[in-house]
Structure 1
Amino acid sequence: MNSAKQNILARLNRTPLSAKHAFARPAQSPAEPSTEFMTEQFVQALESNHAEVIITARSALTQILSALLIEKKISTLLTSERTRHMLPTADAPKYSEFPESIEIFKQALFNKIDAAITTSQGAIAETGSIILWPDSVEPRSMSLVPPVHLVLVEQKSLFPDFQSAIQRQAWSQAMPTNAILVSGPSKTADIQQTLAYGAHGPHALVVLLLTG
Protein backbone atom coordinates (compact mmCIF):
# COMPACT_ATOMS: atom_id res chain seq x y z
CA MET A 1 0.00 0.00 0.00
CA ASN A 2 1.30 3.40 -0.94
CA SER A 3 2.06 5.84 1.84
CA ALA A 4 0.36 9.27 2.08
CA LYS A 5 3.60 10.88 0.90
CA GLN A 6 3.73 8.63 -2.18
CA ASN A 7 0.10 9.45 -3.00
CA ILE A 8 0.81 13.20 -2.88
CA LEU A 9 3.89 12.83 -5.08
CA ALA A 10 1.94 10.74 -7.57
CA ARG A 11 -0.78 13.41 -7.85
CA LEU A 12 1.83 16.12 -8.37
CA ASN A 13 3.46 14.12 -11.14
CA ARG A 14 0.11 13.88 -12.91
CA THR A 15 -0.42 17.66 -12.62
CA PRO A 16 0.09 19.62 -15.89
CA LEU A 17 3.27 21.68 -16.00
CA SER A 18 1.37 24.99 -16.22
CA ALA A 19 -0.52 24.20 -13.01
CA LYS A 20 2.73 23.40 -11.20
CA HIS A 21 4.07 26.79 -12.16
CA ALA A 22 0.88 28.39 -10.81
CA PHE A 23 1.56 26.85 -7.39
CA ALA A 24 4.94 28.57 -7.26
CA ARG A 25 3.78 31.93 -8.61
CA PRO A 26 3.71 34.59 -5.84
CA ALA A 27 0.33 36.08 -5.02
CA GLN A 28 -0.39 39.40 -6.63
CA SER A 29 -0.21 42.29 -4.16
CA PRO A 30 -3.38 44.35 -3.87
CA ALA A 31 -3.51 47.65 -5.69
CA GLU A 32 -2.23 50.66 -3.76
CA PRO A 33 -5.13 52.66 -2.28
CA SER A 34 -5.61 56.09 -3.80
CA THR A 35 -4.55 59.21 -1.93
CA GLU A 36 -8.20 60.23 -1.68
CA PHE A 37 -9.17 56.90 -0.12
CA MET A 38 -6.28 56.98 2.37
CA THR A 39 -7.09 60.57 3.32
CA GLU A 40 -10.72 59.73 4.04
CA GLN A 41 -9.73 56.63 6.01
CA PHE A 42 -7.13 58.58 8.00
CA VAL A 43 -9.52 61.41 8.87
CA GLN A 44 -12.34 59.06 9.90
CA ALA A 45 -10.05 57.04 12.17
CA LEU A 46 -8.68 60.14 13.88
CA GLU A 47 -12.05 61.80 14.35
CA SER A 48 -13.45 58.61 15.85
CA ASN A 49 -10.70 58.95 18.48
CA HIS A 50 -11.71 62.55 19.29
CA ALA A 51 -8.93 64.22 17.30
CA GLU A 52 -9.54 67.25 15.11
CA VAL A 53 -8.32 67.21 11.50
CA ILE A 54 -7.90 70.27 9.30
CA ILE A 55 -7.04 69.69 5.63
CA THR A 56 -5.25 72.69 4.18
CA ALA A 57 -2.93 73.66 1.37
CA ARG A 58 0.55 74.53 2.56
CA SER A 59 0.12 78.05 1.13
CA ALA A 60 -2.79 78.66 3.53
CA LEU A 61 -1.14 77.15 6.60
CA THR A 62 -0.11 80.41 8.28
CA GLN A 63 -3.61 81.81 7.94
CA ILE A 64 -5.17 78.61 9.27
CA LEU A 65 -2.79 78.57 12.23
CA SER A 66 -3.57 82.19 13.06
CA ALA A 67 -7.29 81.44 13.27
CA LEU A 68 -6.68 78.21 15.15
CA LEU A 69 -4.54 79.82 17.84
CA ILE A 70 -7.27 82.42 18.44
CA GLU A 71 -10.03 79.80 18.50
CA LYS A 72 -8.16 77.60 20.99
CA LYS A 73 -7.18 80.64 23.11
CA ILE A 74 -3.52 79.70 22.92
CA SER A 75 -1.33 82.42 24.39
CA THR A 76 1.94 80.46 24.70
CA LEU A 77 3.03 78.08 21.95
CA LEU A 78 6.02 75.76 21.99
CA THR A 79 7.68 75.63 18.57
CA SER A 80 10.89 74.41 16.95
CA GLU A 81 13.23 75.50 14.19
CA ARG A 82 11.17 73.28 11.84
CA THR A 83 7.89 75.10 12.46
CA ARG A 84 8.71 78.65 13.53
CA HIS A 85 8.79 80.03 9.97
CA MET A 86 5.25 78.74 9.32
CA LEU A 87 3.66 80.63 12.20
CA PRO A 88 1.81 83.95 12.05
CA THR A 89 3.59 87.09 13.21
CA ALA A 90 0.67 89.49 13.55
CA ASP A 91 -1.36 89.14 16.75
CA ALA A 92 0.66 86.03 17.51
CA PRO A 93 0.92 84.31 20.89
CA LYS A 94 4.17 84.11 22.79
CA TYR A 95 6.44 81.58 21.10
CA SER A 96 9.05 79.46 22.85
CA GLU A 97 11.54 76.95 21.51
CA PHE A 98 12.74 73.94 23.45
CA PRO A 99 16.06 74.71 25.18
CA GLU A 100 18.96 72.30 25.30
CA SER A 101 18.29 71.37 28.91
CA ILE A 102 14.86 70.26 30.14
CA GLU A 103 15.83 71.10 33.71
CA ILE A 104 15.85 74.86 33.12
CA PHE A 105 12.55 74.67 31.23
CA LYS A 106 10.60 72.11 33.22
CA GLN A 107 8.52 74.51 35.30
CA ALA A 108 7.50 76.61 32.29
CA LEU A 109 6.77 73.51 30.21
CA PHE A 110 4.35 72.08 32.74
CA ASN A 111 2.76 75.32 33.94
CA LYS A 112 2.97 78.02 31.26
CA ILE A 113 2.80 76.38 27.82
CA ASP A 114 -0.71 76.13 26.33
CA ALA A 115 0.19 74.13 23.23
CA ALA A 116 3.01 72.74 21.12
CA ILE A 117 3.34 72.33 17.36
CA THR A 118 5.45 69.55 15.85
CA THR A 119 6.18 67.97 12.51
CA SER A 120 5.73 64.26 11.83
CA GLN A 121 7.50 61.44 10.03
CA GLY A 122 4.32 60.36 8.25
CA ALA A 123 1.00 58.72 9.07
CA ILE A 124 -0.87 55.44 8.75
CA ALA A 125 -4.25 55.69 7.05
CA GLU A 126 -5.59 52.34 8.23
CA THR A 127 -5.39 53.21 11.94
CA GLY A 128 -5.30 57.01 11.86
CA SER A 129 -1.88 56.96 13.50
CA ILE A 130 0.71 59.74 13.24
CA ILE A 131 4.36 58.73 13.24
CA LEU A 132 6.64 60.85 15.43
CA TRP A 133 10.40 60.43 15.62
CA PRO A 134 11.39 62.61 18.60
CA ASP A 135 14.86 64.15 18.57
CA SER A 136 16.75 67.04 20.16
CA VAL A 137 14.88 69.59 18.01
CA GLU A 138 11.41 68.21 18.78
CA PRO A 139 11.76 66.05 21.91
CA ARG A 140 9.04 63.70 23.17
CA SER A 141 7.96 66.24 25.80
CA MET A 142 6.57 68.53 23.09
CA SER A 143 3.85 66.04 22.17
CA LEU A 144 3.36 64.69 25.67
CA VAL A 145 3.13 67.60 28.12
CA PRO A 146 1.29 70.67 26.69
CA PRO A 147 -2.53 70.51 26.89
CA VAL A 148 -2.91 70.91 23.11
CA HIS A 149 -0.76 69.18 20.48
CA LEU A 150 -0.78 70.60 16.95
CA VAL A 151 0.93 68.31 14.46
CA LEU A 152 1.73 68.77 10.78
CA VAL A 153 1.23 65.78 8.50
CA GLU A 154 2.09 65.79 4.81
CA GLN A 155 -0.65 64.16 2.73
CA LYS A 156 2.05 62.70 0.48
CA SER A 157 3.48 60.87 3.52
CA LEU A 158 0.30 58.86 4.16
CA PHE A 159 0.88 55.10 4.10
CA PRO A 160 -1.91 52.52 3.79
CA ASP A 161 -0.71 50.48 6.78
CA PHE A 162 2.09 50.13 9.34
CA GLN A 163 4.05 47.59 7.30
CA SER A 164 4.14 49.94 4.30
CA ALA A 165 5.52 52.75 6.47
CA ILE A 166 8.25 50.53 7.91
CA GLN A 167 9.31 49.22 4.51
CA ARG A 168 9.22 52.46 2.52
CA GLN A 169 10.93 54.53 5.19
CA ALA A 170 13.54 51.78 5.71
CA TRP A 171 13.11 51.60 9.46
CA SER A 172 15.45 48.60 9.57
CA GLN A 173 18.31 50.79 8.35
CA ALA A 174 17.80 53.90 10.45
CA MET A 175 15.30 54.72 13.15
CA PRO A 176 15.37 56.63 16.44
CA THR A 177 15.50 55.04 19.87
CA ASN A 178 11.96 56.29 20.47
CA ALA A 179 9.42 56.03 17.63
CA ILE A 180 5.90 57.13 18.60
CA LEU A 181 2.47 56.40 17.09
CA VAL A 182 -0.22 58.92 18.06
CA SER A 183 -3.86 58.17 17.22
CA GLY A 184 -5.70 60.74 19.33
CA PRO A 185 -5.55 62.83 22.50
CA SER A 186 -4.45 61.25 25.75
CA LYS A 187 -7.12 59.12 27.39
CA THR A 188 -7.50 56.74 30.30
CA ALA A 189 -10.20 54.70 32.02
CA ASP A 190 -8.19 53.97 35.17
CA ILE A 191 -10.60 55.81 37.48
CA GLN A 192 -13.85 53.87 37.97
CA GLN A 193 -13.62 52.65 34.36
CA THR A 194 -14.76 56.08 33.14
CA LEU A 195 -13.06 57.29 29.98
CA ALA A 196 -11.32 60.63 30.53
CA TYR A 197 -9.21 62.68 28.14
CA GLY A 198 -6.04 64.57 28.97
CA ALA A 199 -5.20 62.74 32.18
CA HIS A 200 -1.69 61.72 31.12
CA GLY A 201 -1.01 64.08 28.22
CA PRO A 202 -2.70 66.46 25.77
CA HIS A 203 -6.47 66.67 26.04
CA ALA A 204 -6.66 67.87 22.42
CA LEU A 205 -4.93 66.71 19.24
CA VAL A 206 -5.22 68.90 16.15
CA VAL A 207 -3.85 67.42 12.92
CA LEU A 208 -3.04 69.79 10.07
CA LEU A 209 -3.00 67.64 6.93
CA LEU A 210 -0.98 69.50 4.31
CA THR A 211 -1.90 69.03 0.66
CA GLY A 212 0.06 70.00 -2.40
Structure 2
Amino acid sequence: MVLHVDNLSCARGGVPLLEGVTLSLVPGQALVLRGPNGCGKTTLLRTLAGLQPPLAGQISLPPDAVAYAAHADGLKSTLSVAENLRFWAAIYGGGDVAGAIARMNLTQLADRAAQNLSAGQKRRLGLARLLVTGRPVWMLDEPTVSLDAASVALFADVVRDHLAEGGMALMATHIDLGISEARVLDLSPFKARLRAPGTGDSFDEAFL
Protein backbone atom coordinates (compact mmCIF):
# COMPACT_ATOMS: atom_id res chain seq x y z
CA MET A 1 0.00 0.00 0.00
CA VAL A 2 1.31 3.44 -0.96
CA LEU A 3 -0.09 6.88 -0.15
CA HIS A 4 0.18 9.09 -3.22
CA VAL A 5 -1.11 12.65 -3.39
CA ASP A 6 -1.01 14.49 -6.71
CA ASN A 7 -1.56 18.22 -7.23
CA LEU A 8 -3.94 18.48 -4.26
CA SER A 9 -5.75 21.69 -3.34
CA CYS A 10 -7.77 22.09 -0.14
CA ALA A 11 -9.66 24.78 1.73
CA ARG A 12 -11.03 25.74 5.12
CA GLY A 13 -14.37 27.50 5.38
CA GLY A 14 -14.43 27.94 1.62
CA VAL A 15 -11.06 29.75 1.63
CA PRO A 16 -8.34 27.93 -0.36
CA LEU A 17 -5.29 27.32 1.81
CA LEU A 18 -3.09 24.93 -0.14
CA GLU A 19 -2.68 24.08 -3.79
CA GLY A 20 -0.42 21.83 -5.80
CA VAL A 21 0.50 19.54 -2.89
CA THR A 22 2.21 16.40 -4.18
CA LEU A 23 3.67 13.77 -1.89
CA SER A 24 4.09 10.05 -1.50
CA LEU A 25 4.59 7.69 1.42
CA VAL A 26 5.50 4.01 1.37
CA PRO A 27 5.41 1.41 4.16
CA GLY A 28 7.99 2.15 6.83
CA GLN A 29 8.08 5.89 6.14
CA ALA A 30 6.94 8.92 8.12
CA LEU A 31 6.39 12.46 6.91
CA VAL A 32 6.36 15.50 9.20
CA LEU A 33 4.38 18.53 8.04
CA ARG A 34 5.88 21.89 8.95
CA GLY A 35 4.87 25.48 8.41
CA PRO A 36 3.56 28.52 10.30
CA ASN A 37 0.30 28.41 12.23
CA GLY A 38 -2.66 28.68 9.88
CA CYS A 39 -0.76 27.47 6.83
CA GLY A 40 -3.07 24.47 6.36
CA LYS A 41 -1.47 21.53 8.15
CA THR A 42 -4.71 20.50 9.89
CA THR A 43 -6.75 21.09 6.74
CA LEU A 44 -4.41 18.91 4.72
CA LEU A 45 -4.58 16.09 7.27
CA ARG A 46 -8.39 16.28 7.41
CA THR A 47 -8.55 16.16 3.62
CA LEU A 48 -6.20 13.20 3.37
CA ALA A 49 -8.13 11.39 6.11
CA GLY A 50 -11.34 11.75 4.10
CA LEU A 51 -13.06 14.13 6.53
CA GLN A 52 -13.52 16.79 3.86
CA PRO A 53 -13.28 16.69 0.07
CA PRO A 54 -10.38 18.29 -1.79
CA LEU A 55 -10.86 21.26 -4.09
CA ALA A 56 -8.76 19.55 -6.74
CA GLY A 57 -6.21 16.81 -7.19
CA GLN A 58 -6.02 13.12 -6.45
CA ILE A 59 -5.52 11.07 -3.28
CA SER A 60 -4.60 7.43 -3.78
CA LEU A 61 -5.37 5.61 -0.54
CA PRO A 62 -8.26 3.44 0.68
CA PRO A 63 -10.31 5.38 3.28
CA ASP A 64 -10.32 2.41 5.64
CA ALA A 65 -6.51 2.46 5.76
CA VAL A 66 -6.39 5.61 7.88
CA ALA A 67 -6.46 6.16 11.64
CA TYR A 68 -6.78 9.88 12.40
CA ALA A 69 -5.85 11.51 15.72
CA ALA A 70 -6.68 15.19 16.10
CA HIS A 71 -6.59 17.68 18.98
CA ALA A 72 -9.63 16.06 20.61
CA ASP A 73 -8.81 12.76 22.30
CA GLY A 74 -12.08 11.05 21.33
CA LEU A 75 -12.82 9.68 24.80
CA LYS A 76 -16.02 8.75 26.60
CA SER A 77 -15.56 10.54 29.91
CA THR A 78 -17.54 8.10 32.08
CA LEU A 79 -15.85 5.00 30.67
CA SER A 80 -12.63 3.67 32.11
CA VAL A 81 -9.35 3.57 30.22
CA ALA A 82 -9.88 -0.10 29.35
CA GLU A 83 -13.54 0.43 28.42
CA ASN A 84 -12.65 3.28 26.08
CA LEU A 85 -10.13 1.14 24.25
CA ARG A 86 -12.51 -1.82 24.09
CA PHE A 87 -15.08 0.50 22.53
CA TRP A 88 -12.67 1.65 19.83
CA ALA A 89 -11.35 -1.86 19.25
CA ALA A 90 -14.92 -2.99 18.59
CA ILE A 91 -15.48 -0.08 16.19
CA TYR A 92 -12.42 -1.04 14.18
CA GLY A 93 -13.03 -4.78 14.32
CA GLY A 94 -10.68 -5.87 17.06
CA GLY A 95 -7.33 -5.01 18.55
CA ASP A 96 -5.00 -5.79 21.43
CA VAL A 97 -6.46 -3.63 24.20
CA ALA A 98 -4.19 -4.96 26.93
CA GLY A 99 -1.16 -4.44 24.70
CA ALA A 100 -2.17 -0.86 23.91
CA ILE A 101 -2.67 -0.09 27.60
CA ALA A 102 0.78 -1.43 28.45
CA ARG A 103 2.45 0.23 25.48
CA MET A 104 1.21 3.69 26.46
CA ASN A 105 2.04 3.20 30.15
CA LEU A 106 -1.61 3.14 31.27
CA THR A 107 -1.66 -0.16 33.17
CA GLN A 108 -2.07 1.43 36.60
CA LEU A 109 -4.92 3.56 35.22
CA ALA A 110 -6.84 0.84 33.35
CA ASP A 111 -9.88 1.02 35.66
CA ARG A 112 -9.91 4.79 36.10
CA ALA A 113 -12.64 6.82 34.39
CA ALA A 114 -11.35 9.03 31.59
CA GLN A 115 -12.84 12.09 33.25
CA ASN A 116 -10.51 11.57 36.20
CA LEU A 117 -7.32 11.50 34.13
CA SER A 118 -4.86 14.36 33.80
CA ALA A 119 -4.48 16.11 30.44
CA GLY A 120 -1.36 14.12 29.67
CA GLN A 121 -2.98 10.82 30.65
CA LYS A 122 -5.97 11.60 28.44
CA ARG A 123 -3.63 12.30 25.55
CA ARG A 124 -1.82 8.98 26.06
CA LEU A 125 -5.18 7.21 26.10
CA GLY A 126 -6.26 9.04 22.96
CA LEU A 127 -3.07 7.96 21.21
CA ALA A 128 -3.49 4.39 22.47
CA ARG A 129 -6.56 4.25 20.22
CA LEU A 130 -4.18 4.10 17.25
CA LEU A 131 -2.84 0.79 18.49
CA VAL A 132 -6.24 -0.94 18.47
CA THR A 133 -7.34 0.22 15.01
CA GLY A 134 -5.16 -2.14 13.01
CA ARG A 135 -4.89 0.55 10.36
CA PRO A 136 -1.59 1.07 8.55
CA VAL A 137 -1.65 4.84 8.00
CA TRP A 138 -1.60 7.11 11.03
CA MET A 139 -2.46 10.77 10.47
CA LEU A 140 -1.59 12.80 13.53
CA ASP A 141 -2.33 16.44 14.27
CA GLU A 142 0.00 17.74 17.02
CA PRO A 143 0.03 14.35 18.80
CA THR A 144 2.40 15.43 21.58
CA VAL A 145 0.21 18.22 23.00
CA SER A 146 -0.04 17.87 26.83
CA LEU A 147 2.66 15.18 26.92
CA ASP A 148 5.71 15.49 29.16
CA ALA A 149 9.19 14.63 27.87
CA ALA A 150 8.99 11.00 28.98
CA SER A 151 5.63 10.51 27.27
CA VAL A 152 6.89 12.16 24.08
CA ALA A 153 9.77 9.67 24.01
CA LEU A 154 7.33 6.83 24.68
CA PHE A 155 5.11 7.91 21.81
CA ALA A 156 8.11 8.27 19.48
CA ASP A 157 8.99 4.64 20.25
CA VAL A 158 5.42 3.61 19.41
CA VAL A 159 5.65 5.38 16.04
CA ARG A 160 9.02 3.72 15.32
CA ASP A 161 7.54 0.30 16.06
CA HIS A 162 4.58 1.07 13.78
CA LEU A 163 6.96 1.99 10.96
CA ALA A 164 9.10 -1.10 11.57
CA GLU A 165 5.97 -3.23 11.13
CA GLY A 166 5.30 -1.67 7.73
CA GLY A 167 3.03 1.16 8.84
CA MET A 168 3.13 4.79 7.74
CA ALA A 169 2.74 8.05 9.64
CA LEU A 170 1.89 11.57 8.51
CA MET A 171 2.28 14.08 11.33
CA ALA A 172 1.86 17.80 11.92
CA THR A 173 4.16 18.58 14.84
CA HIS A 174 6.69 21.20 15.91
CA ILE A 175 8.43 18.66 18.16
CA ASP A 176 11.43 16.74 16.89
CA LEU A 177 10.55 13.14 17.71
CA GLY A 178 13.97 11.90 16.66
CA ILE A 179 12.53 9.44 14.14
CA SER A 180 15.19 8.78 11.52
CA GLU A 181 12.63 7.37 9.08
CA ALA A 182 10.78 10.71 8.98
CA ARG A 183 11.09 13.21 6.16
CA VAL A 184 9.98 16.84 6.52
CA LEU A 185 7.62 18.64 4.16
CA ASP A 186 7.37 22.43 4.48
CA LEU A 187 3.91 23.50 3.34
CA SER A 188 4.84 27.16 2.84
CA PRO A 189 5.54 26.75 -0.91
CA PHE A 190 2.04 25.32 -1.38
CA LYS A 191 0.20 28.33 0.00
CA ALA A 192 -2.81 29.08 -2.20
CA ARG A 193 -2.71 32.25 -4.25
CA LEU A 194 -5.29 34.89 -3.42
CA ARG A 195 -8.07 35.19 -5.97
CA ALA A 196 -10.43 38.03 -6.66
CA PRO A 197 -13.95 37.67 -5.20
CA GLY A 198 -16.30 35.78 -7.47
CA THR A 199 -13.61 33.78 -9.24
CA GLY A 200 -12.94 30.07 -8.93
CA ASP A 201 -15.47 27.50 -7.76
CA SER A 202 -18.03 28.03 -5.02
CA PHE A 203 -17.21 25.01 -2.90
CA ASP A 204 -17.47 25.57 0.87
CA GLU A 205 -16.79 22.53 3.02
CA ALA A 206 -18.05 24.38 6.12
CA PHE A 207 -21.57 23.36 5.05
CA LEU A 208 -20.82 19.66 4.73
Work out whether the TM-score is over 0.5. Answer: no
Normalised by the length of structure 2, the TM-score is: 0.35
Larger radius of gyration: 1
Normalised by the length of structure 1, the TM-score is: 0.34
Q: Which has the higher contact order (CA 8 A, sep 6+)?
A: 2
